[in-house]
Amino acid sequence: MRALGIEGAWVLEPRVFSDPRGTFHEWFTGPAFAAALRHPLGVAQANCSVSVRGTLRGVHFADVPPGQAKYVTCVRGSVIDVVVDIRRGSPTFRQWEAVELGERHHRAVYLAEGLGHAFMALTDDATVVYLCSAPYTPDREHGIHPLDPALGVDWPTDIEPLLSEKDAAAPTLREAAERGLLPEYGECLDWYGRLREDQSAESITSAPR
């Protein structure tokens, strides 16, 4: 696990074993994850999406607490996966990080609760799977238009973006802020601290006596 430039965003670059039969790699291991983030990933839901080339999904996020952390990889084709810091008060507010995920690299990206997530399919049948820390709750889910100039995400210019009606109608970052939809950085930090405290308490109670 390697930390990205936005607090709460990480990338996994696994060791891949290959032989004439194919390849093998571990795309998620609980102990390594918990050691890097100082708390485990509680998995409440696992999603799989298949997209045609140009499909642009996001920017999606959920109210904090509890928010929805995501651990994302692409098992077929490739995508540009983007983490956006939309936490009001964050020192990296409005900044974004992009990582190419796909069957060539076998990388995975983790984004903590309160961060925005989006990706664009670079190939047909791009298959993205992700683990979520909380189930989908429609009335707590929000979006920001992924092509908002205020975000300035550097999407590929040679691919025509294909958005859902919902994402195409999503507010800009400014509009989302005016509506009070954006997570607060301080509340996110408090939530991350609670996760680590829960981990510490669990370690103490489970220690041999």
Q: Which residues are catalytic?
A: 60, 130
- Using H for helix, E for strand and C for coil, what is the string for the chain? CEECCCCCEEEECCCCEEECCEEECCCCCHHHHHHHHCCCCCCCEEEEEEECCCEEEEEEEECCCCCCCEEEEEEECEEEEEEECCCECCCCCCCEEEEEEECCCCCEEEECCCCEEEEEECCCCEEEEEEECCCCCHHHEEECCCCCCCCCCCCCCCCCCECCHHHHCCCCHHHHHHCCCCCEHHHHHHHHHHHHHHHHHHHHHHCCC
